[in-house]
Amino acid sequence: MLLALALIAPLAAAQESGSTAAQKPGGAATPDAPESGSAATPGSESTAAPESVSAAPPESKSWWRKSLDAVNYTTPDALATKDAQGEDRGWFSGTWDGTKRIWRDGKYDVYLSGYTWHMPFAYTKQQRLQENHNTFGLGFGKTLTDERDNQYSLYGLVFSDSHYKPEYNLGYAWVARWRVVDGVRVGAGYTLALVSRSDINNYVPFPAVAPLLSIGNNTFTVFGTYIPGSASVAYFFGRISFDVK
């Protein structure tokens, strides 16, 4: 999705520049001006001067800037009010304002964890038998859906990890969604979280990022993610969303 946004941006910029060029005047002077041999009157000079100066076309964004804009769209800054997104406020101000909007305007979520599949290439059969696959747990959060049907989420989640010890997660997620049939949607995105585990620095929190895939509707969604490296596991969990009036 991020790559698609980055590729669409140059097309949008090209269309914008094309429409701007089409709106420019066809000539800088009136038809009679070049045929007249007489000196121009003061009145004609005052009208010809502004016509001879063409407006500079809008400066197009670089590929790098368009890519940054596409990535920024997936952050809470995209939800911020115009005042919070002003040039004198900065990205952090917009992100904080967008985060508050998710928490204020989003639907309530209950997270249900979950199942963990330990990859056969990373674990022996004996190790897989010893690991905990039923990583049950519970979480709470809020999700805001934008006008493109993409979702911005804040969540906290606690569940039993592969070693039967509690794992704590506090994070943010963004998912782009596409309708496939009726109210069913598939999605893809990412999550950023602070994670605390017993087997990593004795529960000292550390940052983590992971991809997300989803399928569901506006009420119930199943998510899947893959944790690479030494973990090498696929993790699945569910989310129930509801409004509280």
Catalytic residue among 162, 196, 214, 241: 162
160 is catalytic: no
161 is catalytic: yes
Mean pLDDT of 14-33: 40
Instruction: Give the mean pLDDT of the chain.
Output: 82
Q: What pLDDT was estimated at residue 85?
A: 59
The residue with greater pLDDT, 116 or 87, is 116
Catalytic residue among 77, 97, 109, 118: 118
Q: What pLDDT was estimated at residue 51?
A: 54
Place 91 in a pLDDT band, splitting at 50, 70 and 90. Answer: confident
For the record, the structure tokens of 19 come out as 């429409």
Q: Which domains, from first to last, does the chain contain?
A: 114-242 (2.40.160.20)
Q: What pLDDT was estimated at residue 53?
A: 57
pLDDT tens digit sequence for 31-81: 444 444 444 444 444 445 455 556 666 678 888 888 998 999 999 999 998
State the angle between helix axes of 2-22 and 63-72 in degrees (0 to 180), rounded to the nearest 10.
120
Q: What pLDDT was estimated at residue 90?
A: 82
Q: What pLDDT was estimated at residue 58?
A: 66
Mean pLDDT of 174-183: 96
Q: What pLDDT was estimated at residue 21?
A: 41
pLDDT tens digit sequence for 209-245: 999 999 999 999 999 999 999 899 999 999 999 998 6
Place 208 in a pLDDT band, splitting at 50, 70 and 90. Answer: very high
163 is catalytic: no
Place 154 in a pLDDT band, splitting at 50, 70 and 90. Answer: very high
Mean pLDDT of 151-168: 98
Q: What pLDDT was estimated at residue 82?
A: 73
Mean pLDDT of 149-165: 97
Q: What pLDDT was estimated at residue 244?
A: 82
Q: What pLDDT was estimated at residue 234?
A: 98
Catalytic residue among 161, 196, 214, 241: 161
Q: What pLDDT was estimated at residue 15?
A: 34
